[in-house]
Amino acid sequence: MTFRRFRRAVALAFSLALCIVRFWLLHLTGPVTLYRRALWVQQTARGILKSLGIHCKVEGQPPTHGLVVANHLSYIDILVLSADMPCFFVAKMEIGGWPFFGKAARTGGTIFVDRSSLASAQSVAEQMTERLQLPIPVPVLLFPEGTSTDGSQVIRFHSRLIDPATSLGVPITTAAVRYVIGDGMEERELCWYGDETFANHMWKVLGVADFWADVRFGEPRVYTDRRRAADETRSEITAMREESALVLQ
């Protein structure tokens, strides 16, 4: 396990260095538009997942526009979902201050929200509205639970930041994420929640022998009421995770 951790840590460092080089190269090939930034994030996410030995199984069709809502288990969700499709994330403000990853998120077009501030939520809603109307469509991805969990349940969705999609009448697509560990370890062991430090969690991830993510996309639907959208998408994601668990048993 020690060798596995060392090998993956080296591969991760190389992947992060390569993503910086690729961003520099963007400047040499034309304007660095939001769309190109989203593609850069997708390429970076695929490289990081490979370095960590995390495999992905995807069912359903990743959307090409509109709002995507997903359950939230860990920062790894961001990598997994980014690898599946170019997108812009709505993330908590604290991530913007992380070493390297915060800078990468800002560079990639992440929208940061201070969930304790009404003014921040209003500003983020306006930014989401702008992104949802870009000439070259790119999905905006939101974790409506507002926090990561241990996966035991999909907690109540907050509806405020779903409002831009319902107001514009753009489709909302669900994404259900489940982690599967080959040695029988429970999913919650690789969820990042509570007071666990990033370093401790990453140490566990680097040492896992067989780790993959099961991602299921629902059908895009248009809603006119944000509360109904929040409740129905939460129910849909819960059902997809339960179905995934039965299939994987």
- pLDDT higher than threshold 80 for residue 248: no
- Residues 69-88 as b/e (b if ≥16 CB within 10 A, e otherwise) read bbbbbbbbbbbbbbbbbbbb
- At 223, the pLDDT band (50, 70, 90 cuts) reads very high
Cα atoms in the 13 Å half-sphere on the side-chain side of 40: 25
pTM of the entire predicted model? 0.94
> Could you tell me the domains of the chain?
2-248 (3.40.1130)
Q: What span, in angstroms and rounded, lies between the C-alpha atoms of 187 and 179?
A: 6
Taken in order 201, 207, 211, 215, the sign of the CA dihedral is positive
Q: Are 211 and 229 in contact (CB under 8 A)?
A: no
Residue-wise pLDDT tens digits, 159-206: 999 999 999 999 999 999 999 988 778 899 899 998 899 989 999 999
Helix, strand, coil content of the chain in percent (nearest 5) = 50, 15, 35
The residues near 179 (Cβ < 8 Å, ≥ 6 apart) are 73, 74, 76, 151, 187, 190, 191, 211, 212, 213, 214
Q: Which helix (H) or strand (E) holds 88?
A: strand 88-92
- pLDDT higher than threshold 90 for residue 244: no
